[in-house]
């Protein structure tokens, strides 16, 4: 029987690579993201590789959008077997001294609240059949927060790690596998929004999207009796981030607060 996986942030990067791997295993993949054009390209890629995919543009921070997505999935494919919470967002201001409240809320909405809303929406499908897998892409910023990801990002990623542990402790005996993936620096488009985007040569030794996707794929495709509760995926080489941290400290600071003043 074909299984269905709903993947957020699936238009590019980790989400797309995870979707491609799952589709190659015969799993139907529902690609969710904000940009329809990007999702259609991802959908076409998976179809060209012989997989089954459906692209659905949605704002997963909105309950109405989540409901619309689930209604469409249920109508076309039936229950959701797998949820991959991969969509992420970081603030442009990293230091809590200057961080605008609306940026704080936006980062928590995407990285934490949306994960809760999607999880709540698929739990009846999974608990009703005593089987299901929820994988959430957190970050090593959850365990070692700093100015690279910023205050809001680190707090949100720690929050989803806690939430997934809650799901594991609460529902494992009802067949739910709750998995947290904690990647280190990964060469994805989110790096372009940093206070100092890493150079090409710096990105060469970072994780690549397919590396993290392989960890997601492993957690999903192992037998149902096995749960990889947490997976840390880190670059072998640790780069010097001291310059990045100093630049990030002053991003968004008032002119009279900067060290050049």
Q: How many CB atoms lie within 10 A of CB 240?
A: 8
User: Do 56 and 72 contact (CB within 8 A), yes or no?
Assistant: yes
Exactly one of 15, 83, 107, 153 is catalytic; which is it? Answer: 153
Catalytic residue check, 84: no
Q: Can you give 55-121 as a three-state secondary structure string?
A: EEECCCCCHHHHHHHHHHHHHHCCCCCEEEECCCCCCCCCCCCCCCHHHHHHHHHHHHHHHHHHHHH
Residues 6 or more apart whose CB falls under 8 angstroms from that of 256 comprise none
Residues 6 or more apart whose CB falls under 8 angstroms from that of 111 comprise 87, 88, 89, 153, 156, 157, 159, 160
Q: How does DSSP assign 178-189, residue by residue?
A: EEEEEE-SB-SG
Six-digit token string for 96: 């809590």
d(CA 122, CA 66): 10
Q: Please tell me the total number of residues recorded for the chain in this structure.
A: 261
Alpha carbon separation from 194 to 9, 148, 159, 175 (Å, rounded): 18, 8, 22, 39
d(CA 80, CA 133): 9
**Which residues are catalytically annotated?**
153
């Amino acid at each position: 029987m074909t299984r269905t996986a709903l993947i957020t942030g699936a238009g590019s990067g980790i989400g797309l690579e995870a979707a491609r791997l799952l589709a190659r295993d015969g799993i139907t993949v529902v690609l969710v993201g904000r940009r329809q054009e990007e999702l259609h390209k991802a959908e076409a890629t998976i179809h060209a590789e012989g997989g089954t995919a459906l692209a659905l543009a949605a704002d997963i921070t909105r309950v109405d959008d989540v409901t619309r997505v689930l209604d469409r999935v249920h109508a076309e494919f039936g229950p959701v077997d797998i949820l991959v919470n991969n969509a992420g967002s970081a603030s442009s201001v990293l230091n809590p001294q200057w961080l605008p409240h609306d940026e704080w809320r936006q980062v928590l909405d995407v990285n934490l609240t949306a994960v809760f809303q999607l999880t709540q929406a698929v739990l009846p499908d999974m608990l009703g059949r005593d089987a299901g897998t929820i994988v959430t892409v957190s970050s090593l910023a959850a365990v070692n927060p700093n100015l690279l990801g910023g205050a809001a990002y680190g707090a949100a990623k720690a929050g989803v790690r806690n939430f997934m542990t809650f799901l594991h402790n609460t529902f494992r005996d009802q067949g739910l596998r709750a998995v947290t993936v904690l990647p280190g620096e990964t060469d994805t488009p989110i790096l372009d929004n940093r206070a100092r985007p890493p150079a090409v040569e710096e990105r060469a030794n970072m994780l690549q999207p397919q590396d993290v996707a392989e960890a997601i794929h492993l957690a999903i495709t192992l037998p149902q009796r096995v749960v990889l509760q947490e997976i840390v995926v880190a670059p072998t080489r640790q780069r010097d981030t001291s310059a990045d941290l100093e630049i990030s400290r002053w991003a968004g600071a008032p002119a009279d607060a900067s060290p050049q003043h």
